Structure 1
Amino acid sequence: MKNYNNHIALCLMAIVLCFTQMAAQEYGNALNTFVKFGSNSSIAANYEIQVAKDITLAPTARIWFSGENTFAVGGRGDFYFDRLLGLAEPWDIWAGADAGAVVSGDSNKDDFSLNLHAGVEYKFSNSFGIIFEFGGGNTSSGGIGLAFHL
């Protein structure tokens, strides 16, 4: 099962990287870092790549502070509602899903993770913003983060 999860994670990252040259950039090219709270307290990061007008894909990684899980790798997809809502800068609102392989401290407990999330970002400048995100699923939890737009 462990090798199967590793292959899924690598395939998701490869798909994301294949789309890097396909879209005019409006949302992507952002490194997002998070501190997540609750029973799944952790740090996480992802790198968003725009693949369509309102859609981004991102490879993601997460490390837990404590508990049974050690780290996770995978991918996520987000749909931005800014255009539909007529939302102007400096705000972004999105919702999406993420999936990946979770490596447990107990080597017999490795697992697959599937989560839904929604978030909002306020941009202080063209290169920096603060993120609030909420979610639910196997390993998801709410968090606060920083976005670095490259």
Structure 2
Amino acid sequence: MSTAESKTGLTATERSKIEMLSQHYEDKRSACIEVLKYVQGQYRWISNHHLSEIAALLNMSRAELEGVATYYNLIFRQKVGEHVIFLCDSVSCWIMGRDVICEHLRRRLGIEPGETTADGAYTLLPIVCIGHCDHAPAMLLDDELHGDLDIKRIDALLASPTERGL
């Protein structure tokens, strides 16, 4: 188990919530995506320990659940920052200046795509397409979609709450 691995188990409340979520399905295994999203919402990622616990609760093998978890790019199997930036990597975004946005994010955050800032604030990840081609270049910041990006807009989005006047 790596140092990044969470060794804490699911709480009784989380286990109860998982049981409740799985009751909505004839076969508990069908709740796996919903349960993975729930647990990720609690911890921001799915540790190996949590994956094993979830698999047992849903009557799945660890390998079956791992297959589901690694198939979906919005399920994180490694720790991510407090904020996740998905920068669209589609042809439309490339044509509209995605490379300039990516370079600016790399410089501003001091990380490469696939990495997390040293303070754990941001993770920068490429994503194949987020379906916002008419407003390219585009990105998801956490769960918010942002399009028509330029450097000024990126800087405003990444400003601290105090810098934004909140």
TM-score by length of 2: 0.22
Q: Which structure's residues are more often helix, by fraction?
A: 2
Structure of greater Rg: 2
Q: Which has the higher strand share?
A: 1
Question: RCO (CA 8 Å, sep 6+): is it higher in 1 or 2?
Answer: 1
Q: TM-score, normalised by structure 1?
A: 0.23
